[in-house]
Amino acid sequence: MAFKLIQCDVLIIGAGGAGLRAAIEAKETFRKGKIVLVTKGSLGKSGVTATACSDRMAFHATLPYTEPATSENWRYHAEDIYRIGGYVSDGDLAMILAKESQSAMEYLDRLGVPFVRKEDGRIDQFITDGSEYARACYTGPRTANHIEEALLKKVASMDIRIIEHCMIADLIKYRGRVIGAIGIDEKEGSKIKDRVKIFSSKAIILATGGAGEVFETHVFPEGMTGDGYALAYRAGAELVNMEFIQIGPASVKTKLNCSGSLMRAVPRFLNEKGEEFLRNYFPKGISSVEIGNLIFEKGASWPISLDKRTHLIDVAMFKEIAQGHRVFLDYGTNPEGFRFERLDAKWQQRYASEVKNPIPFEQRVSSPLDRLSEINPESIEWLKEHGIDLRSGERIEIAPCIQHFQGGVKIREKGNASIKGLYAAGECAGGQHGANRPGGNALLDGQVFGKISGHEAAMEVMHLEQKPKISSSRLDQFLSKLNRMKDGGKASQIRKSLQSITSLHASVVRTPEGLRKGLKHLEALRREGLSIDEKGYVYALETENLLDVAEMVMRACLARKESRGPHLFFNRFDDLCPLPSQDPSWRKYIVIQNESGKMVLKKEKPVSLNFS
Ligand SMILES: Cc1cc2nc3c(=O)[nH]c(=O)nc-3n(C[C@H](O)[C@H](O)[C@H](O)COP(=O)(O)OP(=O)(O)OC[C@H]3O[C@@H](n4cnc5c(N)ncnc54)[C@H](O)[C@@H]3O)c2cc1C
């Protein structure tokens, strides 16, 4: 059967921060080369970089004047990435990230990203969760969007072919090397065979971002279904650290992360009956003062981590929801027994440093809403614009939400995956981050490994011949696979079911029994099969990818028999405390690979951080 063939030297899949940076560098390296960038959705409107915002989005960089201002200050940055990552990332990749952060930041600055500067012209930097020194550069709540816009402008000025609204559904391999990909046009309705595009490429860079949609509640935009993880897995590439996922409380209605001042105002945590529930899940004897301090502290440790005691709040919230309740933040009344003046002195100081709209002390101590209006009045207005009026007594419904995948397609120092011709960058890649990813380093890693993978892929293919030809049987295979997607559960039903399985068993509280149960349910879903429903082909193919990703996440969770970073592993669901980390035996990462259709997991030793 004839098919549309698009030939290129380097194919980049995904047009977020990582994909755009990779495309620019591939073209700059191989000026005569054909570089094609393909993306799901509209350019500049899909994916996380183009759409995500938060209080103040951070881009980490060690600049010559970043504290401690020595010529080797990047080493502290590398150490933070490695240490906060729980020693389960590759130390050499942490060094690359830290060393290259200055030039990555300066490149964006030259492209016109409006980073905030101090009066002396230097870039303003602040401290984000976990890091020792202030490295976070920012433009405001839309730092990522500004990066996307600047990179897009640059791409538009170059001879790079862009194909929008095309989902890459599979990679094509020949003798162990990736040689192409199959894409499907997102326009539902027209004949399926006319919608299929075959790409023949000497090298491919996966920059497809993370997989928020594996879970019921997340802060990702639509369409983030971990396609790159599934494509790489099916092609036989290694993946790593898939159990490490950033999770924290966010508004179900607006997807706003409830961190920073929203916690530092110390609201009540209520269920739908108006009952305060935190204490029911906390260790016995915890005082109201300690609970108030924990809520305040949660403002500075949004993602769950074993080493932050604030994870008790996430566990309580998760268990309350698992009991069938809904959970709300209430700003009308102080938590039971809370007295502002009994907050730790360091938190009172922190509070004082954030006051924007000073109010009398009697008012400050009287309600969380008064405090929020004192330290972050904009958030009250923002929530009102988005349908939650705190002043009229409305509450924010929250749930543990997924924000970032630390793991992904295992890369090495050239951004290269474990199979020839394949590269990965950004959130799709893994190994550069460990259990936790320090705030600001995700946007950074997309730029650093976007650039590196673009350069290395272009260098690799420059003198490579374009062969072999892709045979039409590959298209036939794909079409017959689509044809088979007629029996079985409707894709939307399967997606809903798998999301509830992962959310119950692989989110905040992970237990051996729950994970085994979850994997059994997942297996039953697979056996049932998946059929294309009214949502169309792309939705069904994404759902198939989600099944693969869900299985990788749950198998990795079950294999790691300890807690580390956001992976809280409990012997039993009712246990109050997670198991401790096991060092040194678990200073290892879990590598996942598809070996002849079987998901194989191996425990391996990461490359250590070594400055010598
Ligand atoms: C609310 C929120 C706040 C955050 N705050 C910060 C922060 O302050 N600092 C920080 O460092 N990080 C932050 N992060 C994380 C960071 O923004 C992301 O990790 C980063 O933007 C991901 O960039 P990326 O290029 O890898 O992927 P994305 O920007 O998600 O781009 C992925 C691209 O791939 C395309 N795609 C996906 N699948 C396919 C397919 N099958 N075929 C074709 N195209 C495909 C998508 O359409 C999209 O264009 C935040 C994330 C969120 C959600």
Name which CATH class applies to 471-591: mainly alpha
* CA 608 to ligand 1 centroid distance, Å: 27
pLDDT band with cut points at 50, 70 and 90 for residue 63:
very high
Positions of CATH 3.50.50.60 in the chain: 4-244+406-461
Q: How far is the CA of 559 from the centre of ligand 1 (A)?
A: 27
For β-strands 327-330 and 396-405, DSSP reports them as antiparallel
DSSP-assigned letter for residue 547: H
Average pLDDT of the segment spanning 277-288:
94
Percent of the chain at pLDDT exceeding 70: 99
- Which protein residues touch ligand 1 with a CB less than 6 Å away? 13-19, 38-41, 46-49, 52, 54, 57-58, 144, 167-168, 207-209, 219-220, 223, 227, 403-404, 426-428, 439-443, 446
Q: Which residue minimizes the CA distance to atom 11 of ligand 1?
A: 440
pLDDT tens readout for residues 493-522 = 999 999 999 999 999 999 999 999 999 999
Residue 2 confidence (pLDDT): 65
Q: Work out which ligand 1 atom sits closest to the CA atom of 128.
A: 8
DSSP string spanning 175-221? TTEEEEEEEEES--SS-HHHHEEEEEEEEEEE-----GGGSSSBSSP
> If you average pLDDT over residues 552-576, what whole number do you get?
97
pLDDT tens profile 535-547: 999 999 999 999 9
Q: How far is the CA of 245 from the centre of ligand 1 (A)?
A: 14
- Residue of 53, 404, 542 to mutate, ligand 1, most atoms within 8 A of C-beta: 404
Q: Is the pLDDT of residue 467 over 80?
A: no
Nearest CA among 178, 201, 214, 198 for reference residue 502: 214
Instruction: For 277, list phi and psi in degrees, rounded to 5.
Output: -120, -10
Nearest alpha-carbon partner for 413 in 174, 607, 187, 173: 607
Cis peptide before 68 (omega within 30 of 0): yes
| Cα of 237 from ligand 1 centre, angstroms | 21
CATH number (3.50.50.60, 3.30.70.1280, 3.30.70.1150, 1.20.1560.10) of 4-244+406-461 reads 3.50.50.60
Percentage, residues of the chain above pLDDT 90: 91
Q: By alpha-carbon position, which residue is closest to atom 35 of ligand 1?
A: 14
Burial class (CB in 10 A: 0-12, 13-18, 19+), 147: buried
Which amino acid residue places its CA nearest to atom 10 of ligand 1? 440
Q: Ligand 1: distance of its center to the CA of 603 in Å?
A: 28
pLDDT-derived band at 1, boundaries 50, 70, 90: low
Amino acid identity, position 485: M
Which residue's CA lies nearest to atom 26 of ligand 1? 426
Ligand 1 center–CA 368 separation, angstroms: 33
Please state which of the ranges 130-134, 144-148, 286-290, 352-356 shows the lowest mean pLDDT: 130-134
The mean pLDDT of the chain is 95
Ligand 1 centroid from CA 271, angstroms: 32
Residue nearest to atom 33 of ligand 1 (CA): 14
Residue 490 has pLDDT above 90, yes or no: yes
Asked if 192 contacts 537 with a C-beta cutoff of 8 angstroms, the reply is: yes
**Token pair of 510, please?**
């992970």
Intervals of CATH 1.20.58.100 along the chain:
471-591
Quote the CA–CA distance of 240 and 232 in Å, as a whole number.
12
Nearest alpha carbon, ligand 1 atom 2: 52
Q: pLDDT-derived band of residue 526, with 50, 70 and 90 as boundaries? A: very high
Q: Determine contact, residues 379/362, Cβ cutoff 8 Å.
A: no
Residue 367 has pLDDT above 90, yes or no: yes
Q: Whose CA is nearest to atom 15 of ligand 1?
A: 442
